Structure 1
Amino acid sequence: MANHPINILVTFDQNYVRPFQTMLTSLVSNNPSEQFTVWLLHSAIPLDELETLDEFCQNQSVTFKPISVDHNIFENARISKRYPKEIYYRLLAPKLLPESVERILYLDPDTLVINPIRMLWEMDLKDNCFSASSHTGLTNIVGGINRIRLQTKHDYYNTGIILMDLNKARAIVEADEIFQTVSRHETELILPDQDVFNYLYGDYTLSIDETIWNYDTRYYANYLLRSGGKADLNWLMKNTAILHYCGKNKPWSSSRPLLTILQFSINIISKFPQEYCKEYPMYHYLNCHFKSIMTKIKSIISFWIKNSSSPTKSV
């Protein structure tokens, strides 16, 4: 698989175009020797916007392949404000993408890629259909609650980054099963598409290291504590490949995006554990690492700074 182009899957509407552009810029900037093909599953992005996206991708030497999803597929699906048809796209990706596409990496638009991803792309899935990370926190209490809630035995996977073996996934993914699961468990689902993925496909998913492949930027202090102080900012910038801005508060939602992304990425000033502050004085620590952090993100931060209008709706 070495040197083969990497397929990237995204699903979003017009509200997430700029975050996607930022994510893609970070991906290309930090993987300069790679070739990428981006597959977009969508239903309502106008042609002129798609042409703009295609031009943007061409300028990054990225192949852009949008696919407009047929509305008739969702004839038997539960569709509402809480359950828009877009939530089904990444679940149905094995059925919606051409059979010529055998492997693909799904990336949420609210991610930044800060190191090479070739190792993830070439990962042996060990007969699994997917690989994903679980955000366990300090004690994994939430994981235990989710196992009880969904009646599963595996970790609760975050679906913001998923590597898919599409050949294997096509054998188990069925649209009607997904739609029926949503209908039967509608009142129990908290994060609908993520819950459904875990309920139906968690047993077919290889667990991968969240600190490398799906770093939740809200919980720097947790990662630092769990690692015994090893996973500091210097370690993060050298080892973490993908930062994930989970939750409702996004960097681009702020009127001061540069400050906000630093707060998200560092997450150190207000939450840094007191015992580590004694070992690593705050100002000394920040001064040591600001340069490396800014070097990583300077090529991508401009999108949040220069665009005055901000997306407010996620897909």
Structure 2
Amino acid sequence: MSTSSRIIATATDRNFVELAGVMLHSLVATDVGEDVRLVVFCDGLRPGDKSNIARCVHPRTVEFIDLQGAHTARMATLQTNSNWSRAIYTRLLMPQLLGVTTGRIVYLDADTLVVDSVNPLFEIDLGIYAVGAMGGKSAKETARLGLAPDINTFNSGVLVVDVEKWLKEDISEKTLALAAERASKNLPAFDQDVLNIVLNGRFAVLDYRWNCLGKCEHPSPAVIHFTHAKPNTTRCVHPWRHAYFEHRAQTPWARSRLKTKWDRRARRLSSSLKRFFGRF
């Protein structure tokens, strides 16, 4: 394995290609150091999809890492649904997929939008922890996950990973093992749930500005996270949707139609048929 100090990564399947491309366009519009690697973990992307994403970051370059081989085999039995494919589990294998043993990885979900530089996340103090994330106390979440009520839980849409500590704690193996063990049980947040269970509150709590959920009620947000209706759908009424369209206008999806509830239903039907016929 080689080493690399500063990486920003995301993951997508074909359903989220537009969102990933627009997010990356918003990212490079901020101050991103030339030494930062930009990486997309891919699940079933076509050459045209990759070309469109690459255009979003030009003149910067982006690396594409396809799920394949042993890593794909490990994900074959893990929970997925019509919204979230196995691409979500790349968060659990980032150091291995990237081939790094030290440094930091900043992970951003495809359905985020960067409105201020994320460079500070490479320097932010994580203390003794391997992971930094936005979170806090939620009696509902701890009860659902079977954790002690005083434990903090987090949203995994924005993660800061200290690679060396992550590997030392064997977090990849522990989370994947738990995901496989509980594949038949209801973990609605999938990889986020297993991360929270394995880490059991052992993470550095990031300020809300780094992962603004809901209506984004923060005076100085850095990353907007569209956790419910996505900004490229007719259902979205998010107050930052305009910013998404400003960036989308400069991407290959500038004239794409908005997705409707019928697209969502068609995706669910397709997912159900694949499962019925034994296709992953």
TMscore range, shorter length? 0.7 to 0.9
| Equivalent in the alignment of 1:128 | 129
The Cα of 1:101 is off from its aligned counterpart by 6.0
- Counterparts in 2 of 1:76 and 1:14: CA distance versus 1, 3 Å: closer
Deviations along 1:122-153, whole A, 9 cap, x unmatched?
A: 1111121110002x6xxx6xx11221222334
- Counterparts in 2 of 1:23 and 1:74: CA distance versus 1, 3 Å: closer
Q: Tell me, yes or no, if the aligned pair for 2:25 and 2:56 is still in contact at 8 Å.
A: no
- Counterparts in 2 of 1:301 and 1:96: CA distance versus 1, 3 Å: closer
**SS at 1:91 equivalent:** helix
The Cα of 1:11 is off from its aligned counterpart by 0.8
Q: Tell me, yes or no, if the aligned pair for 1:26 and 1:299 is still in contact at 8 Å.
A: no
| 1:308 aligned onto 2:275 | no
Q: Tell me, yes or no, if the aligned pair for 2:101 and 2:167 is still in contact at 8 Å.
A: no
The Cα of 1:5 is off from its aligned counterpart by 8.3
Deviations along 1:1-28, whole A, 9 cap, x unmatched?
A: xxx9852111101221211121112112
The equivalent position to 1:190 in structure 2, one of 188, 191, 202, is 188
Deviations along 1:76-134, whole A, 9 cap, x unmatched?
A: 55245548532321111122211266211100111111112222221111121110002
Q: Tell me, yes or no, if the aligned pair for 2:215 and 2:239 is still in contact at 8 Å.
A: no
Q: Tell me, yes or no, if the aligned pair for 2:115 and 2:223 is still in contact at 8 Å.
A: yes
The code of the aligned residue for 2:140 comes to I
| Equivalent in the alignment of 1:9 | 9
| Equivalent in the alignment of 1:160 | 157
Q: Tell me, yes or no, if the aligned pair for 1:115 and 1:241 is still in contact at 8 Å.
A: yes
The Cα of 1:299 is off from its aligned counterpart by 4.1
Deviations along 1:286-313, whole A, 9 cap, x unmatched?
A: xxxxxxx96x667415257522264856
- Counterparts in 2 of 1:81 and 1:159: CA distance versus 1, 3 Å: closer
| 1:72 aligned onto 2:70 | yes
**SS at 2:40 equivalent:** strand
- Counterparts in 2 of 1:250 and 1:298: CA distance versus 1, 3 Å: closer
| Equivalent in the alignment of 1:252 | 232
| Equivalent in the alignment of 2:273 | none
| Equivalent in the alignment of 1:145 | 140
Q: Over aligned residues, Cα RMSD in angstroms? A: 3.1
Q: Tell me, yes or no, if the aligned pair for 1:106 and 1:160 is still in contact at 8 Å.
A: yes
The Cα of 1:71 is off from its aligned counterpart by 3.2
Identity of counterpart residues, as a percentage? 21
| 1:172 aligned onto 2:172 | no
The equivalent position to 1:241 in structure 2, one of 209, 214, 222, is 222
For 2:12 and 2:68, the matched residues in 1 are separated by 15
Q: Tell me, yes or no, if the aligned pair for 2:42 and 2:65 is still in contact at 8 Å.
A: yes
- Counterparts in 2 of 1:193 and 1:81: CA distance versus 1, 3 Å: closer
TM-score (norm 1): 0.69
The code of the aligned residue for 2:63 comes to K
**Runs (5+) with no aligned partner, structure 2:** 269-280
- Counterparts in 2 of 1:130 and 1:253: CA distance versus 1, 3 Å: same
The Cα of 1:175 is off from its aligned counterpart by 4.9
| Equivalent in the alignment of 1:284 | none
The Cα of 1:55 is off from its aligned counterpart by 4.1
1:226-305 pair list within 5 angstroms: 231=218, 235=219, 239-247=220-228, 249-254=229-234, 260=236, 263-265=237-239, 299-302=246-249
For 1:148 and 1:172, the matched residues in 2 are separated by 25
**SS at 1:132 equivalent:** strand
**SS at 1:157 equivalent:** strand
For 2:102 and 2:257, the matched residues in 1 are separated by 37
Structure possessing the higher radius of gyration over alpha carbons: 1
